[in-house]
């Protein structure tokens, strides 16, 4: 709260910067300062005492926090380690309001050849098309892939649809010679790896 007050520098009429920060965090909900990630410019501008400059400052603070966390995690990123993958993508995914599935493509030395978002919304076996997924992987010269998606609820336990989609993609990968190494589900500061759980 004090850091947010320092950033805002001034309050409003009848309310100092600390009190304004308290009110912003109240509107951020039970997640406190982490709730700032869910604010849009329009939502911030609806708060009394928040003009365009203050709103942009708050959004910049939120984005800076995400980038710092990701830059720190990048040092330990190893695509053979589900924990390091989860840590690296955690800030990108755990604040999303919808499920986002990423495709991570690796070469024969487990080096990244590319990554892309392949779906947004509910991860449903019928909505993820293995053909499009593997066309992308083949174009990037991938020999193995990792699936990664978030659960906005914060609970990373796989749903029935998660399990069905994973198995469908694994079988399709066998046909085209691209191995599905893992499917990692991101929760709120936690994750589940299909590989670690022996579900792959």
Residue-wise burial string across 46-84, b where 16 or more C-beta atoms lie within 10 A, e elsewhere:
ebebbeeebbebbbebbeeebeeebeebeeeeebeebeb
Distance in angstroms between the alpha carbons of the first and the last residue of the chain: 43
Q: In the chain, how long is the greatest CA-to-CA distance?
A: 68
CATH fourth-level superfamily of 76-193? Cytidine Deaminase, domain 2 (3.40.140.10)
Yes or no: say if 182 and 145 are a contact pair by the CB < 8 Å rule.
Answer: no
How confident is the model over 112-141, as a mean pLDDT? 79
| C-alpha angle 91-170-152 in degrees, rounded to nearest 5 | 30
pLDDT at 150: 93
**Residue 179: count of CB within 10 angstroms of its CB:** 15
Alpha-carbon distances of 42 from 38, 132, 153, rounded to whole Å? 11, 35, 24
pLDDT band at 125 (very low <50, low <70, confident <90, very high): very low
Question: Does the pLDDT value for residue 124 go beyond 60?
Answer: no
Q: Where are the beta strands (DSSP E) in 40-111?
A: 100-106
pLDDT band at 109 (very low <50, low <70, confident <90, very high): confident
Nearest Cα to Cα of residue 148 among 134, 158, 135: 158
90 versus 7: which is more confidently predicted?
Answer: 90
Q: In what order do the strands lie in the sheet with 191-193?
A: 112-120, 100-106, 144-150, 179-186, 191-193
Domain boundaries, the chain: 2-71, 76-193
Q: State pLDDT tens for residues 83-103.
A: 989 988 888 888 788 888 899
Nearest Cα to Cα of residue 86 among 150, 26, 28, 43: 150
0.75 exceeded by the pTM?
A: no
Q: State pLDDT tens for residues 148-188.
A: 999 988 899 999 988 988 999 999 999 999 999 999 999 98
Q: What SS3 class is residue 26? A: helix
Q: State pLDDT tens for residues 42-82.
A: 887 777 777 788 788 877 877 777 776 666 656 667 888 99
Question: Does the pLDDT value for residue 17 go beyond 60?
Answer: yes
Residue-wise burial string across 162-175, b where 16 or more C-beta atoms lie within 10 A, e elsewhere:
bebbbbebbebbee
Go through the chain and tell me how many residues it has: 200
């Amino acid at each position: 709260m004090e850091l947010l007050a320092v950033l805002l520098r001034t309050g409003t009429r009848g309310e100092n910067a600390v009190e304004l920060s308290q009110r912003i965090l109240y509107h951020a909900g039970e997640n406190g300062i982490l709730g700032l990630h869910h604010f849009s410019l329009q939502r911030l501008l609806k708060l009394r005492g928040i003009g365009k400059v203050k709103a942009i400052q708050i959004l910049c603070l939120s984005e800076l926090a995400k980038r710092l966390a990701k830059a720190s995690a990048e040092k330990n990123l190893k695509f053979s380690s589900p924990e390091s993958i989860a840590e690296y993508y955690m800030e990108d995914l755990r604040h999303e309001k919808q499920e986002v599935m990423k495709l991570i493509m690796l070469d024969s030395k487990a080096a990244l050849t590319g990554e892309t978002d392949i779906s947004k919304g509910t991860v449903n076996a019928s909505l993820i098309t293995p053909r499009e997924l593997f066309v992308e992987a083949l174009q990037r010269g991938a020999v193995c892939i990792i699936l990664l998606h978030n659960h906005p609820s914060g609970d990373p336990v796989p749903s029935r649809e998660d399990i069905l989609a994973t198995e469908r993609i694994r079988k399709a990968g066998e046909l085209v010679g691209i191995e599905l190494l893992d499917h990692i589900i991101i929760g709120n500061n936690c994750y589940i790896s299909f590989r670690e759980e022996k579900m792959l």
